[in-house]
Every structure is written in structure tokens, then in C-alpha cells.
Amino acid sequence: MAKLEVRVAPPVTTDDGTVRLSARLRSPARHDEALWYEIAGLDESAVVDRADPFLVACVALAMREPADVRIVGAPVSPSLLRNLEEFETIWHAWFDLPVVDLDAESTRADPQPASTISAFSGGVDSAFTVWRALHDPPRHGRRLDAALMIHGMDIPVTRVDAFQRASARVRRMLDGTGLPLVTVATNAWALLPEGRTHFPGVGVAAALHTVGGRFGAGLVPSTASYREALKLDSTPTSDWLLGSDAFAVVHDGAGFERLAKVRELAKWDAALDDLRVCLEDPRGDRNCGRCRKCILTHLEFRVAGVELRCFEDPPTEAVVTSWARRFSSAPYYVGGMGEVLREAAVQGIDEPWVRVARRRHRMLVARDVFAQLSPDTAARVDGAYRRLAGLVSRR
């Protein structure tokens, strides 16, 4: 198998206090590319002195190439090597990606610091994790000391202006909590091939690892509950394997359905004002009220009876109904709409968007059932629904 050499450079602190971690990647598919992280808000003593962030990020890249990984220039945690071998086994079973060899010098790490940092985008899942950690500490018993926002994940690393606006909004949310915001800029997402890469959970874990000099654990807010989490990119089954004895990666919040998170966030006024959920706003700090993430979030708060004030231009009834007729067939949206529709039934909500969404949801669930029995039947069901939806939309 081909080799992916990852040559790690010593950390560098720039004149403005930003700490830069970098590595050169060389393989038949990557002749000489840089992978880097820039940490603002912490000094160099807080930054990890191992190659763990690069190993975590490069496992996903290497499995896609495929190429065996060789880390040069810095050691890694031996427990991380062990965990990633099991992590690869899970991804091979779920996504049919090949298992690659991981070659690195390992060294025993110091005991974990007691402090914890949580990934924080300003959305519902990360806001819930932070709120619960501060007001109802989760069972893993870790004290939350800081939040970390990643530039380069949903906002491209080239959009500095957009990230500055988005991080300012996030800081407003955190003002009353006393938690400092650490920002990590990285080009890791820019190195991914086009198409689905299953990278988000891995990318978040790698960014958290960069501050392993000060923090002993990083929280990865759950995207779905245990009921819905199987085979997603970030799950309680696999995320912990991205950590080590030196830095634990903790998947947080999967014991709670999405609407339970929404109701808990009703107690946090700053979140209701400044949640950042949009996937498409070009500025980076506003919620467009038109994209699929905005509309689903709007409906989640709506059926829970919680007034959400973070939309500058809330979705209209016509926009909601049109989206409900064709909402995404991705598991995240099918599961999310299933929960919304169940709550709408409990609350006796029978508005036009509910009736349209219910038909779409039933079709998607039926398609998934048919897919287990016959992929051809599933395709025919999906095609018939699309034709029917087209006829209805033209009326």
C-alpha cells in the first residue's frame, strides 16, 4: 500500500500571540501539502507537544487514499495508536473504507489535566453541552473550563471576515458564562476530496487535541441521540476512540433527544438571541431562515413552544411548507423531522406544513424499509414520490 508521510514541525508563536502547529504531508496523492492549526486565545504552554492532532486528522485522509500513515518529527500517545486501530475497524465495517497501518514513535504521556474544553459552534447541540455542563454537570463529572470554535469547518478558512462576525456572535452567547473562547483555524477540511468524507467528528476531535497541553479532555457535542446515532460520522460508539490516556475525547449529550435540548435552551436567553445554526449565510454570523438547517431548527423550537429570536428574517409559512414537501432524505433530517412530527401530534398541531411533511416522512421511512429488502423497489418508490411532489407543487 502507498505511504502517507506526516512530518510534524515544532510549534511557532507569531507576533500576535497565535500558536501555529503544522505538518507536511507527502504521498502519491499528496506530493507536498501543509496541514496546519492556528490557536488563538492560549499561549504555547497550552498546546500539545505530541503529534496526536495530526494522526487523528490523517487517519481519515489516509483511509480515503488509501495509504499507510507514518508520523515523523514528534511522538504520539501509545493509547491513541491502540484506539485508532479499533476506530478504523468500525469505519471499515460502516463505510467500507480500507484499514491502514499507523507507524509512529510513541511516548507515555503525562497524566490528564483536570480541565475540559468543549467544541462550540453556537448551534443547538454545542449550546446544550455547554449549558448542561455549567448547570447540571453530566455523569462524566468533568468541569468545563473553556469553549473552542473551529474556523475552517463550516466557514471556509479563507473567509476571515465571516468567521470574525460568527465568533463575535458566539462570544455574546458566552459572555454570561465566564467561559473563554479559544479559536482554532485549520485547513484540514480544505485537504479533503470532494464528496462525502465522514470527516466532521474526526476533524473536531483533531482540533480539540491541539490544546492538550492545558486540557485533559474535549467534549464533542452529540449530533443525534442514542436512538438515532448509529452509523453517523460522529457517534458515542466511535468518538471516544479518537482520544487517548493523555487527552480524552468525550461524546456528550447523546442521552437527550433534540427537543429535550431545545427545551433546556429555553432557559438561556443569550442562546435564544444568538444561536448560529445556518449552513448558507455568506456573512457567517446570521441565520438565513431559508436553508434546511435553519428551517428544521425553526420547527424544532416551534413545536416545543419556545420563542426563538436568533432569526433576522424568520422563515414564512410558505417557505416552511415548500421545504417540508421536499426536505432532505439524509438520516439527520429524516430523524429530526420524525421527532418534530411526533411532537406536533402530541401538541395537536395540524398546520399545512405538518400534513405535507408527514407524507414526505412516511415515504422516506418506507423507502428505507424497502431498501433493506430490494434497492430497486426503494428507487421506484422514491421516483414515484418525486413525480407526485412535482405535480402537487405545480397546482
Bridge partners, residue 19, by sequence: 13, 39
| Cα gap 64→97, rounded to integer Å | 7
228, 256 contact by CB (below 8 A):
no
Half-sphere exposure of 95 (CA within 13 A, CB side): 19
262 within 8 A of 228, measured Cβ to Cβ: no
State pTM to two decimals. 0.82
Q: Which of 119-128, 233-242, 248-257, 368-377 is the least confident region?
A: 368-377
Euclidean distance between CA atoms 319 and 291, whole angstroms: 10
The residue type found at 281 is: D
**What confidence tens digit (pLDDT) does each residue in 74-105 have?**
999 999 999 999 899 888 888 889 999 999 99
Please say if the pLDDT value at position 345 is more than 50. Answer: yes
Strands 19-26 and 33-40 come out as antiparallel
Structural domains of the chain, ranges and CATH numbers in brackets: 3-103 (no CATH), 116-252 (3.40.50), 277-393 (no CATH)
CB contact at 8 A, 90 and 237: yes
CB 187 within 8 A of CB 152: yes
pLDDT of amino acid 383: 62
Nearest-angstrom CA–CA distance, 46 and 11: 11
- Cα dist from 158 to 55, 163, 164, 190, whole Å: 24, 9, 12, 10
Average pLDDT over residues 185-204: 86
Q: What pLDDT, on a 0 to 100 scale, did the predictor assign at position 68?
A: 97
Backbone φ and ψ for 285, nearest 5 degrees, come out as -120, 10
